[in-house]
Structure 1
Amino acid sequence: MLGFIDLFCGGGFGARGAVFGGGKPLLAVDAWDLATETYKANFPEATVIQKKIEEIDPFQYRSKFRPDVLLTSPECTAHSIARGAKPGNEKSRETAISIFPWIDAFNPRWVIVENVNRMKQWERHEELITTLERYGYTVSQLLLNASEFGTPQSRKRLFLICDRDGATITKETLLASHQKTQKNAKSIIDWSGQYKSTPLYKPGRAQSTVERAERAIASLGKNIPFLIVYYGSDYAGGWQTLDAPLRTVTTIDRFGLVTWDKGEPMLRMLQPPELLKAMGAGSSHQLPAGNRRDKVKLCGNGVCSPVMEVIFGEINRIMQSEHSLAIAV
């Protein structure tokens, strides 16, 4: 198994995929107490620390852990268009640079850096790549959409997959080696009726919500369920069909499900268990604590499990192939 250290671990969605792909979490770090509590609940065998990584001396753990992979998901809010017009926070961006003391301490063969696509526009992005190369890593920069890897969510992210032994990984290789069936938003919906809807046209409903729904109804017709999408930035009309992957889960509530009752449209928000399905973590993953807003944030901050499963699976394949070759020689 590939032992890994998980920096900016969040609720462990990326780790869940890594485990599915043949990984084993050794040490995890995050500054948010709910994230570390969630990680502990899902991976009780791992050592979990609630601190900022720059406040930790990684060398104190050097004798205890021997990771094959350093898995990192630095803060992305300063890079993301989801932050709106707010100015970027350079300190937040530079958490990516904070991974290098951990590389110094553990000398892992593989380093994985996950972030939003706009990280490539950061003025220190090339410095990050160049420094990784100076450490001896061959860096594969991949822009991956989680929906292409069996996740019922369209989520585009940048992955830097770095190997100290010179292996390169391409998107085409990942897709060819690990086939995944595409899933749609309908697959995450709980249709049991346990989550109650209210009439779309109830008094006090925001007019912008009604307008989003009416645009969808005008396009689809009546009696067809769909999703209202709030806080959109892609000019898609504020709604989507259920036969496409869910649009990107963010740290705030943004999806309202419209269904029909005797010809009348009804509305409810998607719930954390449904968003958890959209992250692809599987039924075994838990969100044990926190309120609804916290759980939505945990999902929005996460890494889609199926993508990390494919990446770890490919790393495992490479290393097993090398091992077999060495035995043959």
Structure 2
Amino acid sequence: MKAIDLFAGLGGNSEGARQAGVSVVWAANHWQPAVDVHAANHPGTSHICQDLHQADWTQVPMHDLLMASPACQGHTPARGKERPHHDATRSTAWAVVDAAEFHRPTFVMIENVPEFAKWQLYQPWCAAMSALGYALAPMILDAADFGVPQHRRRIFIIGTRTKHPVELRLPQLEHLPASSFINFDEGAWTPVEQSKRSPKTLARIAAGRKRYGTRFLAPYYGSGSGKTGRCLSRPIGAITTRDRWSVIDGDRMRMLTRNECRAAMAFPDTYQIPDNHRLAVHMLGNAVPPPMTKGVIEALLKAA
């Protein structure tokens, strides 16, 4: 089976497809640094850096599976208040319709945040895909169920050229704890007690110590764990595009390293990521955990 990867980013979909035995023949993204990293990890794939609204689909290889992760910034609640550019990011989903209309692949797999289904134009988008002959099966999935040591809820929409939507039998693997990827011998540690430390951070750490002891996680923002800390015996919360999770060890603390973020996203240790920490975290926070894509594709192939 051959696939293409739209809005490929760091390459989570491509890596998951590769692990499922699918050949990714073409990948595209609008941001050159992401294209460069993707190409380093998938040298056998043809790459293009382009706004996909302007893509020439005649130049894209034939394929059986179209994978796409359109921009989520206009949908996710993490974006904060509505901004002028969010309409443009939401519109990237229409590039999927353009690609599917030209090539009519057997399968289409779209990944995004769950709020994608609340988009004002979600129903017209689904209608457009239906008009092309695709029966759509949307599913809200948690990465932790696929063996990723992270709770990360995403919508996967599977399109098949069939009369009825496909029904997938997906794995429900044992949840892996955050302790599985945290290395207490690495990272840049600093004392917890510092004059520059915010009162909210100190209060969060105090609450975590009370509940979990000397070692735990403390996110820098958000509700839930953002107020109480989070134990190491359960999956971490979502890895985001900027540093969010701090590791507490007694009277010292640090943020997750880029390698820990890679492991939390379940990319192989050999998967190349930028040396620059901020850039690596940004790409990882936007990525798809490969085991999710692998599990969905394997289930799709069994059901087809």
TM-score by length of 1: 0.88
- Higher-Rg structure is 1
Among all aligned residue pairs of Structure 1 and Structure 2, give the percentage whose two residues are the same amino acid: 28
Secondary structure of the equivalent of 1:67? coil
* 1:241 and 2:238 matched: no
Aligned residues: 303
> Which residue does the alignment assign to 1:52?
51
Aligned to 1:4: 3
Whether 2:276 is the aligned partner of 1:291: answer: yes
Partner letter of residue 253 of structure 2? L
Query: Are the counterparts in 1 of residues 217 and 245 from structure 2 also a CA contact under 8 Å?
Result: yes
Q: Which amino acid aligns with 1:117?
A: P
Contact 1:184/1:242 (8 A) holds in 2: yes
Partner of residue 202 from structure 2, selected from 175, 195, 210: 210
Q: Go from structure 1 to structure 2 and tell me whether the alpha carbon gap of 1:145 and 1:165 turns closer, same or farther (over 3 Å shift).
A: same
After TM superposition, give the deviation of residue 236 of structure 1 in Å: 5.0
1:304 paired with 2:289, answer: yes
- Equivalent residue, structure 2, for 1:318: 303
Quote how far apart the aligned CAs of 1:87 are: 3.4
Measure, in 2, the Cα distance between the counterparts of 1:91 and 1:233: 29
1:236 and 1:34 mapped to 2: Cα distance? Answer: 31
Mapped pair 1:188 → 2:181: yes
Deviation at 1:170, TM superposition (A): 4.2
Residue 237 of structure 1 deviates from its aligned partner by: 1.4
The answer as to whether partners of 2:220 and 2:245 remain within 8 angstroms in 1 is: yes
Distance 1:212 1:183, change over 3 A: same
Unaligned runs of 5+ in 2: none
Task: Go from structure 1 to structure 2 and tell me whether the alpha carbon gap of 1:169 and 1:278 turns closer, same or farther (over 3 Å shift).
Answer: farther
Measured after TM superposition, the shift of residue 76 of structure 1 is 0.3
Contact kept? 1:142, 1:170, Cα under 8 Å = no
1:34-73 aligned within 5 A: 34-61=33-60, 65-73=61-69
Partner SS, residue 133 of structure 2:
coil
Structure 1: segments with no counterpart, 5+ residues: 320-329
What displacement does 1:234 show? Answer: 4.3
Residue identity matched to 2:201: T
Amino acid at match of 2:174: T
The secondary structure found in structure 2 opposite 1:190 is: coil
- Please point out which of 108, 128, 131 is paired with 1:131: 128
The match for 1:326 is none
Q: Distance in 1 between matches of 2:178 and 2:205?
A: 17
1:56-205 alignment runs, 5 A limit: 56-61=55-60, 65-87=61-83, 89-166=86-163, 168-170=165-167, 173-175=169-171, 179-191=172-184, 193-205=185-197
